Amino acid sequence: MILRKSMRRGYVLTGVLSVMFTAGYAQEEEKRDGRPAATIDSIEVVRDYRPILADAVKIRRSPDMSSKRQYQPKLTYDILDRKLDINTGTKRLTIQEMPFSRTHELTNNYVKIGAGNLGTLLGEVYLTSDYYVDTRLGGFVKHLNQQGTLEAQRFSSQQIGVFGRTIYGPVTLDGELGFNRYGTRFYGPVSDTDGNSLNLDPARQAFNDIYFTGELTSNHDEQATDAFSYSLKGDAYLYSNIYETKENSIALAGYLNKQVNVFNVGANISGDFTTVKDAGYSLANHIAKVNPYIRFQGANYNITLGANFVAEFGDSSRTNIFPSAEIDFALIPKYAHLFGGISGDVNRTSVKALTQENPWLAALGTENDIRNSVDRMHVFGGIKGNAGATFGYKVRAFYRRVESLPFYAVSPETPYAFRMIYEAGDEASTIVGLEGELNVRVSEVVSLGGKLNLNEFDLQQEEEAWFMPKMRLAANARFNISDKLYIDGELLFQGQTYGLVSDERINLSDYSIVEMGGPELRKVTIPAFADLSAGAEYRATDRIGVYVRLNNMLGAAYERYLFYPRLGLNVIGGVNFSF
């Protein structure tokens, strides 16, 4: 009871105090605002409610409603390469070597065999190894023989070689060692004015070539502004025929180039040591060249200025200094470049180069020696460019002043063979020419290409540039009919040339001739010719294919050199196997 009375007294006291506090607060508000305090029964509206924020909390930019991140932090990690130490007494794990296995099936090796009319036999084997990413090794063997309709018109060719390439740190090494053999006969049908043959027993001829070539080239970043590049190349060969002619050559060449911002400073250096021997004839023909230069290179231009120092020594000596300058300017970058230059040089005349062009040269002698030709001035210029990977072109015009141009002429002693004669005179002869080259990929199915050469000769001594054409056109086409069938074609056209005959015994009634200084010296016209060839290949499987090729489809027995008609229509077909 006492407790209940006490609680009721507390409630009453609390209520009285609350009324007194509320009345006091209302009086203070009335005094402060100057208006009566608000009551529950009435509310006085003074103005509409408008919330106002202070300047300190205002946002002075419009909100971005996109959900993109305004800032992407760049994170870096510092990962320490540390070996985990295990102190449990267990043995450290070692890498288990696995046997080598190919990741894919290689198909860069092939075997090719074929046969055709005119006694044609063909065989090729090509092997290469790509087991290592930075090293490539391989070898090849080739054989081809043919026989024409004329007596002793026979040809045979054999090639065998090994090659290798490796990238070793900052340098790349390339090398090849091989042997080439080419055999033929002096089959030219030559008769005298009475109809008697002047080539009763066509002699055999064969050329053997043992060669080696190697190169060491630096690897560098072409985009670097301070790159240093260099190269060293070596070539050597032993060349001979079945008689007594031998030519041995060792050549070393290299270049150094240092790039400094937009400048390139460097030099090309070479030395060629060649010895020619024949019955009663020997010649040491050595040439050393030094070509220092400085190149200015920009985004759309390339200018090279330098000089070419050439020294000939051996059995005879001569020194020449020629200018060397080139310019390349991007008229329309990637589409049209203007280029031009001026230079001079000494061109080595070698038995190997001559006989590869004309294998019916007579034995060398005192009247058939070796002389180097000299380009006193070579000025050239033109335009080149491309449109992506589907169209490329180049047009080049040139002017050359040349001393001691080499020509072929029929030998008086052996009219079925040729000898060398050289353009001589107090002044150098001139050659004005135009070259054009075009490559077009019409579509993924058709690709076309061609090259045109036009030359005009102004000689000081000789009547004509013997056996050198003024016009030559080579064109090719390829058609990818499907993934399995390919067709290609080639066209070679050469304008008329002229040959020199200095033996009045020879019957030339089948040729157009002009007498020069008497009946013993005659100019013979060799007609123009066209040689059309075509071939097709069908891939029966991924590894096996069959092919057929037709050469000289027009069947013309044309002559590149006097008295030596080429083979007529010849067909060859066979099978190739890749693995």
* Phi and psi, residue 225, nearest 5°: -90, -5
Q: 137 pairs with which residues across the strands? A: 129, 164
What pLDDT is recorded for position 6? 43
d(CA 132, CA 130): 5
How many residues are there in the chain? 579
Over range 182-211, report the average pLDDT: 95
What pLDDT is recorded for position 209? 98
Helix/strand/coil for 13: helix
What pLDDT is recorded for position 92? 44
Neighbours of 266 (CB within 10 A): 19
What pLDDT is recorded for position 519? 67
pLDDT at 74 over 90: no
Residue 284: CB partners within 8 Å, gap ≥ 6? Answer: 274, 275, 314, 315
| Pick from 279-288, 401-410, 533-542: least confident | 279-288
What pLDDT is recorded for position 365? 58
* Phi and psi, residue 43, nearest 5°: -130, 125
Q: Which pLDDT tens digit goes with each residue over 486-506? A: 999 999 999 999 999 988 899
Q: Which pLDDT tens digit goes with each residue over 77-91? A: 343 344 434 344 444
What pLDDT is recorded for position 520? 77
Both structure tokens of 370: 């070796």
What pLDDT is recorded for position 60? 47
What secondary structure letter does DSSP report for 510? T
What pLDDT is recorded for position 140? 97
Percent of the chain with pLDDT over 90: 66
Q: How far, CA to CA in Å, does 572 sit from each of 492, 546, 549, 551, 557?
A: 19, 11, 5, 8, 18
Helix/strand/coil for 509: coil
d(CA 157, CA 182): 5
Neighbours of 353 (CB within 10 A): 13
Q: 559 pairs with which residues across the strands? A: 565
Check if the beta carbon of residue 253 is closer than 8 Å to that of residue 236: no
Helix/strand/coil for 7: helix
What pLDDT is recorded for position 320? 97
Residue ranges covered by each domain of the chain? 113-578
What secondary structure letter does DSSP report for 106? -
Nearest to 516, CA basis, from 534, 493, 498 = 498
Name the CA radius of gyration of the chain, rounded.
44
Q: Are strands 373-386 and 336-347 parallel, antiparallel or unpaired?
A: antiparallel
Over range 444-452, report the average pLDDT: 95
- Mean pLDDT score across all residues of the chain: 84
Both structure tokens of 132: 């290592």
Helix/strand/coil for 19: helix
What are the helix (H) ranges across 323-363? 351-357
d(CA 563, CA 558): 10
Check if the beta carbon of residue 429 is closer than 8 Å to that of residue 458: yes
What pLDDT is recorded for position 224? 67
**CB-neighbour burial class of residue 84 (10 A; exposed 0-12, middle 13-18, buried 19+):** exposed
What pLDDT is recorded for position 478? 96
**CATH ID of 113-578, from 2.40.170.20, 3.40.640.10, 1.20.1090.10, 3.30.420.40:** 2.40.170.20
Q: 177 pairs with which residues across the strands? A: 162, 212
Q: Which pLDDT tens digit goes with each residue over 256-304? A: 999 888 889 999 999 999 999 988 788 999 999 999 999 998 889 999 9
Both structure tokens of 294: 């400085």
| Pick from 75-79, 224-228, 428-432, 471-475: least confident | 75-79
What pLDDT is recorded for position 115? 97
d(CA 359, CA 373): 21
Name the band, by pLDDT with cuts 50, 70 and 90, for residue 366: low
Give the H/E segment covering residue 203: none
| Pick from 35-39, 354-358, 393-397, 412-416: least confident | 35-39
Pairwise pLDDT comparison (238 vs 316), residue with the higher score: 238
Neighbours of 375 (CB within 10 A): 19
What pLDDT is recorded for position 362? 87
pLDDT at 97 over 50: no
d(CA 536, CA 529): 24
Residue with tokens 């141009």: 405
What pLDDT is recorded for position 66? 43
Query: Burial code of 273-288, b = ≥16 C-beta within 10 A, e = fewer?
Result: bbbbbbeebebebbbb
Residue 290: CB partners within 8 Å, gap ≥ 6? Answer: 267, 268, 269, 308, 309
Q: Which pLDDT tens digit goes with each residue over 520-537? A: 789 999 999 999 999 999
What pLDDT is recorded for position 425? 73
What pLDDT is recorded for position 268? 97
Read off the pTM: 0.79
What pLDDT is recorded for position 100? 42
Pairwise pLDDT comparison (549 vs 97), residue with the higher score: 549
